[in-house]
Amino acid sequence: MNRKAGPSKSDVPASRPAVSIHDVAVEARVSIATVSRVMNNPSLVAPKTAERVMEVIKRVGYTPNPFAQGLMTRESRVLGFALPDIHGEFYSELLRGADAESRRQGYHLLVSSEPRSEEPDLRGLAFGLIDGLAVMITNPDAEMVRLARESKLPTVVLDLDMHDRGIDTVLVDNEPGTREGVLHLLETTRPENLYFVGGSEDNFDTQHRARAFTAALTAVGHTPIPGQIAYGSYTPEWGRDWLNLHFQRGPIRNTGVFAGNDEIAIGIIQAAADRGTSIPHDLRVVGFDDTRLAQLVRPRLTTVRVPMADVGAAAVSLLVRRVEDPDAEIKCIRMPTKLMIRDSSR
Amino acid sequence: MNRKAGPSKSDVPASRPAVSIHDVAVEARVSIATVSRVMNNPSLVAPKTAERVMEVIKRVGYTPNPFAQGLMTRESRVLGFALPDIHGEFYSELLRGADAESRRQGYHLLVSSEPRSEEPDLRGLAFGLIDGLAVMITNPDAEMVRLARESKLPTVVLDLDMHDRGIDTVLVDNEPGTREGVLHLLETTRPENLYFVGGSEDNFDTQHRARAFTAALTAVGHTPIPGQIAYGSYTPEWGRDWLNLHFQRGPIRNTGVFAGNDEIAIGIIQAAADRGTSIPHDLRVVGFDDTRLAQLVRPRLTTVRVPMADVGAAAVSLLVRRVEDPDAEIKCIRMPTKLMIRDSSR
DNA sequence: CCGGCAAATGAAACCGCTTTCAGTCTACGC
DNA sequence: GCGTAGACTGAAAGCGGTTTCATTTGCCGG
């Protein structure tokens, strides 16, 4: 409510009480250059002066204007995080980890879900503003990556391996987890009675898990027939539908299912319960992800744990590394999974 | 570290191919002022000129530098969204709605979970950068709001009613939802056999729901005794513990529970199942929130639906409104709830 | 006592854009 | 033919910082 620059008359009470580096400089009887140095490289200024400036800064509550700062330094300490969709426990865990890590590293997180109906305008702003971008890609829609590459923005990709194309990558190590789950099922079930019920065939995770499923069965001498592998969507409905379909081929007995994720697994469990199929006696089910659902459902779901928070954190930490050292060597981090054996499989 | 303007020799291939307004101006043989006008107020420039400039802009792929822009206009089109914690279905829905709405309005979303271990430094940047802030406050830790007020940042508060203190607010309309749920339970259960099992006593939602619970019982002529209302935490464990505790007072029969949220309700259902208490015959349970869990659990959970995505969207839309018109009248939006009757209560 | 070097500081350029202000040009009325 | 309003346009002043470069000062050895 005051503080006018050049020649002006105060009309409104002024909604900009923002104190600038200039105000600090005047108050501390130094130049703005010195104030700037106090904040960015105190070793360049005499201790006595620095102290005086600091006192003023604190007293008047000075905060550097990030726009002016960004204009010079070309960095905002804001990271972009683009997800295919923000939904469910899964993504919230991911974000949680990313948020914690970026906070730890002194960055902010700009989130954005699938920009199907993108305005290029909007996107432009974000691209110019953020220091780096983490993109989760679960199906072959690599447009964001293309955009990021063109804009030379430091980028990290999740879920799709692009490290041999020069982009840092964070992956969930699907294969060992799947293998472990299948081997667990094989302890009680013959390979020809094992089924993989996945999500969308386009989905990278589903693809990897299906492949690992096949490999695991092949390794024990059984090449799965097409009917043993089914694709649908990551929903309980699909799990129910699959089981009901399966029922038409006769009663279920000595059967094992490796589901593409926990939701599918839960759908299967529910449909089995509705039909009076005993779990785990007649039907053994293993899920994937270990969302909280897995422990809440009865019987408790055996599932492959995916440390989503760690994935988010790893993505951010990789991204920060690249932002701060553009020439760092390209890395690919694989997050290990872990089989959580519960009641649905034994 | 490279790319100097003026007299320069190219050392590195230059990692900043960024084309500036100046480049466009030269290429289109106009002044930068005209380019700026073409982008911001085309009516001020001759159609022929505008067309030529637009062509160049498109051809060279010019995007205004947001820092320079922000320095002049003092807006970033970035909104801050601060949550107590990013966790579970609940918050991901909230974010989902907020994200969609802010995208629709041409803003970006900067998210941040509880800054317990805050660095003031970090916070400073965000505060200077964002155009407005949405804060969810679930317990009496109003520090963020205080900060926002001091910084004169447009602010919207979620979950705590501050509209009479001059801050736009978005609330979940807990009372009618609770009343509806209690009345539903009263159809089958006597008021003295009804229990409220809430989350933390500090939590605003729990407080409101507990109060509405009391009011609903009082309205039918029964003042609840202290034992009918219990506080704990928003977890299944607390639900289980509560039920087990309750069991010590004898077998459960003709009893109804109004839980503070779905997770507590699920804990109660599980503990009941473990003890062979029949739901809904002996025990009727109503939850709150209607997370996806409610439909996935068996018996399906009767629960009060809270449209979290709508809450997030409403917060953003209110915030945008205030950002763009600081003098708009203070508003308080109450999001209606809806009782979803399923199998756990009838 | 003086030259010279290092430490401390300030002046000023610059980052890329918006916006005011003044100037040029055209077309029109008289 | 001339004055002038109105339409376009450009020069230039910031916005609030960072950083280079030059200047001033203090201190040392010779």
- Residue of B108, B289, B324, B343 to mutate, interface with A, max A Cβ within 10 Å: B108
> Which tens digit of pLDDT belongs to each residue from A282-296?
999 999 999 988 998
Residue A276 CB closer than 7 angstroms to strand D?
no
> Which tens digit of pLDDT belongs to each residue from A222-253?
999 999 999 999 999 999 999 999 888 888 88
pLDDT at A264 over 50: yes
pLDDT at A113 over 90: no
> Which tens digit of pLDDT belongs to each residue from A49-76?
999 999 999 999 999 999 999 999 999 9
Is A248's Cβ below 8 Å from some Cβ in B? Answer: no
Measured in angstroms, what separates residue B42's CA from nucleotide D5's C1'? 22
Q: What residues does A341 pair with on adjacent strands?
A: none
Residue A33 CB closer than 7 angstroms to strand D?
yes
- Spatial neighbors of A283 by CB under 8 A, at least 6 apart, are A252, A255, A256, A257, A268, A272, A277
Q: Is the dihedral of CA A222, A225, A231, A235 positive or negative?
A: negative
pLDDT band with cut points at 50, 70 and 90 for residue A108: very high
pLDDT band with cut points at 50, 70 and 90 for residue A12: very low
User: Is the Cβ pair B128, A15 closer than 8 Å?
Assistant: no
- Which range is least confidently modeled, A4-8, A151-155, B327-331? A4-8
Amino acid identity of A218? T
Are A133 and A148 spatial neighbours (Cβ–Cβ below 8 Å)? yes
Is B108's Cβ below 8 Å from some Cβ in A? Answer: yes
pLDDT at A16: 46
| Partner-chain residue, chosen from B15, B86, B296, that has the shortest CB–CB distance to A293 | B296
Q: What's the rounded Cα separation, in Å, for the pair A157 and A141?
A: 12
Chain B residues whose CB is inside 8 A of the A261 CB are none
| Partner-chain residue, chosen from B86, B122, B326, that has the shortest CB–CB distance to A95 | B86
> Which tens digit of pLDDT belongs to each residue from A175-221?
999 999 999 999 999 999 999 999 999 899 999 999 999 999 999 99
**Helices (H) and strands (E) in chain A — how many of each?**
13, 12
C-alpha A17, offset from chain centre:
38
pLDDT at A316 over 70: yes
pLDDT at B13: 38
Cis peptide bond prior to B140, omega within 30° of 0: no
pLDDT at A147 over 90: no
Are A222 and A188 spatial neighbours (Cβ–Cβ below 8 Å)? no
pLDDT band with cut points at 50, 70 and 90 for residue A151: confident
Q: What's the rounded Cα separation, in Å, for the pair A264 and B49?
A: 59
Q: What's the rounded Cα separation, in Å, for the pair A209 and A264?
A: 14
- DSSP H helices, chain B, are 21-28, 32-40, 47-60, 66-73, 88-104, 120-129, 143-150, 174-186, 204-219, 236-247, 262-274, 293-296, 308-324
Is B152's Cβ below 8 Å from some Cβ in A? Answer: yes
- Of the candidates B162, B169, B148, B167, the one whose C-alpha atom is nearest the C-alpha of residue B79 is B148
User: Is the Cβ pair B122, A103 closer than 8 Å?
Assistant: yes
Is A112's Cβ below 8 Å from some Cβ in B? Answer: yes
Query: Per residue of chain B (346 residues), what is the pLDDT tens digit?
Result: 333 333 333 333 334 468 999 999 999 999 999 999 999 999 999 999 999 999 999 999 999 999 999 999 999 999 999 888 756 788 888 998 999 999 899 999 999 876 554 444 455 557 889 999 998 888 776 666 677 677 788 999 999 899 998 999 999 999 999 999 999 999 999 999 999 999 999 999 999 999 999 999 999 999 999 999 999 999 999 999 999 998 888 888 899 999 999 999 999 999 999 999 999 999 999 999 999 889 989 899 999 999 999 999 999 999 999 999 999 999 999 999 999 999 999 8
C-alpha A339, offset from chain centre:
21
- Positions 37-76 of B with beta carbon below 7 A from strand D are 37, 44-50, 68, 71-72
Measured in angstroms, what separates residue A47's CA from nucleotide C1's C1'? 31
pLDDT at A141: 64
Q: Distances from the Cα of B13 to the Cαs of B1, B10, B62, in angstroms?
A: 11, 7, 19
Exposed / middle / buried, residue B111 (Cβ in 10 Å: 0-12, 13-18, 19+): buried
Q: What's the rounded Cα separation, in Å, for the pair B178 and B155?
A: 28
Is B91's Cβ below 8 Å from some Cβ in A? Answer: yes
Amino acid identity of A188? T
Q: Is the dihedral of CA B314, B90, B279, B212 positive or negative?
A: negative
User: Is the Cβ pair A63, B124 closer than 8 Å?
Assistant: yes
**Token pair in block for residue A196:** 């993989």
Q: Distances from the Cα of A227 to the Cαs of A129, A175, A197, B118, B346, in angstroms?
A: 50, 21, 10, 54, 41
pLDDT at B18: 81
Are A311 and A251 spatial neighbours (Cβ–Cβ below 8 Å)? no
Are A21 and A57 spatial neighbours (Cβ–Cβ below 8 Å)? no
Higher confidence at residue A21 or residue B123? A21
pLDDT band with cut points at 50, 70 and 90 for residue A2: very low
User: Is the Cβ pair B266, A296 closer than 8 Å?
Assistant: yes
pLDDT at B122: 53
* 3-state secondary structure at position A40: helix
Minimal-distance CA residue of chain B relative to A18 = B151
- The predicted model scores a pTM of 0.89
pLDDT at B316: 97
> Which tens digit of pLDDT belongs to each residue from B91-101?
888 998 999 99
User: Is the Cβ pair B128, A66 closer than 8 Å?
Assistant: yes
- Spatial neighbors of A88 by CB under 8 A, at least 6 apart, are A291, B89, B92, B292
> Which tens digit of pLDDT belongs to each residue from A265-274?
999 999 999 9
Q: What's the rounded Cα separation, in Å, for the pair B61 and A151?
A: 10
pLDDT at B205: 92
Exposed / middle / buried, residue B207 (Cβ in 10 Å: 0-12, 13-18, 19+): middle
What average pLDDT does chain A have? 88
DSSP summary character for residue B275: T
Q: Which residue has the tokens 């920009």?
A: A115
Is A276's Cβ below 8 Å from some Cβ in B? Answer: no
